[in-house]
Structure 1
Amino acid sequence: MPKYALIAAGGTGGHMFPAQALSEALLKDGWRVKLSTDDRGARYATAFPAEVSREILPSATTARGGLTGKLSAPFKIASGILAARRAFRRDRPDVVIGFGGYPTIPAMSAALSMRIPRMIHEQNGVMGRVNTLFAPRVDRVACGIWPTALPQGVTGTHTGNPVRQSVLARAGAAYDPPGDGQLNLLVIGGSQGARVLSDIVPAAVAALPEDIRRRLNVAHQARSEDHDRVVAAYQSAGIKAEIEPFFADVPERLTDCHLVISRAGASSVADITAIGRPSILIPYAAAMGDHQSANARPLADAHAAIVLPESIVDAATLTRDIAAILTDADRATQMAHAAAALGRPDATARLHELVTELAA
């Protein structure tokens, strides 16, 4: 009879992408897999394989929402835990894996109360609230960013953050350092934090020396409401630029770029290091626990990236750092190699191995 894994993940892409990668690996190995989430999380799960069954459980958070929402949250969570326990009694998982977010609370709580083998995967360098709650109460803690700030007494295993197959296909691709020809600059940022990049990057690029500007090809991911002004900013500076709210081919663009300017979300850092490219990282200041700064720190320490805190970054500083990398082929190459050395293209396999050991 095949092993059965229950994967619990919250309602953001940052939680769902690694959960999806693990589910795909387990299915290939003959496992039966179920995803436990809430209604919001289900909207982010459309790319999961059809073989993954879904279990929608009520859950909530007391961290946001109005007074009514805060008061009702404990009752929703309790209802979800009871539903999870009933489901586990009918069909007991061999292992339960949580990827963070409040929708994981019912399944992880039920696994704890029923003494089912359980583990969590933390994507960021600072552990989220729900994973912090469960970290001392699980059998394994897998970490995407290393080192990860863990609760006292908790030991973690560095697996890395699983990346998409389209990224894996380009892992460690040879880097073409900047020279006398075209220069490719990629600008990507999470939806919440993209506005600052749209405010600063076009002005910084416009101030670059003319020899760089005339050879520059910019691909800039900007929110729809910022599109027109970003297009106008590049056009007025005479810079060739492609502006879209979302690039479906980010792995290909990462492979071809000489430099990437990005937020420091866990998935972005995983993609940049898997492929191995020089970067300028601007951590999102409003991220909970300042976890994006923690995500960026290993790259800064390895000289794979220049990290500019949002509180101090301005166009002039960014202009200086873009020029410093694009005019120094040796430095750019060293940064690319340092980034690739931090990459964990085998993160899914490492995570799969932990799950298999725990289920045994």
Structure 2
Amino acid sequence: MKRPRTLIPSRHLRETPRQSGGGRPRASLISKARESIEEGSKSFTAASMLFDEDTRDRAHLLYAWCRRCDDIADGQDHGGTLTLDDSDPKDRVEAIRILTHRALEGHPTADIAFDALGLVAAECRLTKEMADDVIDGFALDAAGWRPRTEGELMRYCFHVAGAVGVMMARIMGVPADDHDTLDRACDLGLAFQLNNIARDIWEDDAAGRCYIPEEWLAEADIPPGQHMKPMFRPQLVKLAARLVDLAEQHEAAARLGAARLRFRDRWAVLSAAHIYGAIGREVRERGEAAWDHRVHTTTGEKLRYLWLGLRDAMRDPEPVDPMPRWTRGELMVMARMEAPPAPMPTTPLRDEEVRPATPKPQPE
């Protein structure tokens, strides 16, 4: 009688080799990432062309991951329609997190955008904490969250843009311990997102979202969910201007950090600041007509902002006094306080000689 074969002991099993980028060729990942950014963001494409080749490629790799996460979370494809099953938004965010962690651990994900993140993370030492900060913003949207206070609005902006700014700074070679420059990179991301929120108030409302703090709406005597009604348009114009004013404060602070970057990186960052800042200022200038047509910058305007970025890159930044109310450190604390508690460890503790059931006999 034959004995049944036993399972192979675990010591004989080989672990899947870890490879940054999921084992895909670097050139292939960069090519796909470039296609993604050219389709998804003409503004970012224009500014990123000023980087040196390595920085540009890494910026595109990071953008591809951000774009893919955004599409999965919203059920879209580069902002367009994407046919998905009836999966729960929270499940989609959890899938984003799992794929992201797998990519950061050097495992293949079967998704080129996540493999792109794995590659750029390995090259620039991007951490799981940085990526989780970004994913937490998608989690807020999946939960149908809305900000009650200005602080909660800024915490959301930190997740979806400020944290990306920090990752971009690391890609540009800012050391992990240069906290002041990383703070300024976060400021730039906050400015970008505040301008985007001001521009997209109508689109967000159509999607059932609102990022204007409830306290701001109450101060303006606008009932919840009614801010797009014509009778409240004058108050809404003031709230949008308040968003843009806040964005300009953080943009001014970001320019201080840009001055410490290499020249081409500084030029790219300051050009992007002009392009995104112009969006917010156009919203403010249009007044009640701001949401009749989506605000955007033309190719000619982008070229002008690239020239202005070059001019600013050759000058010292203007001093900022006072600095913005909301800091990266404070927003990170808020984010950690609102995060779910860490899971309890499941590894059993050794009990040998930790607390003996009976005392050992002492030698006489």
Q: Under a length normalisation based on structure 2, what TM-score does the superposition of the two structures give?
A: 0.27
Which has more radius of gyration?
Answer: 2
**More helix per residue: 1 or 2?**
2
**More strand per residue: 1 or 2?**
1
Q: Under a length normalisation based on structure 1, what TM-score does the superposition of the two structures give?
A: 0.27
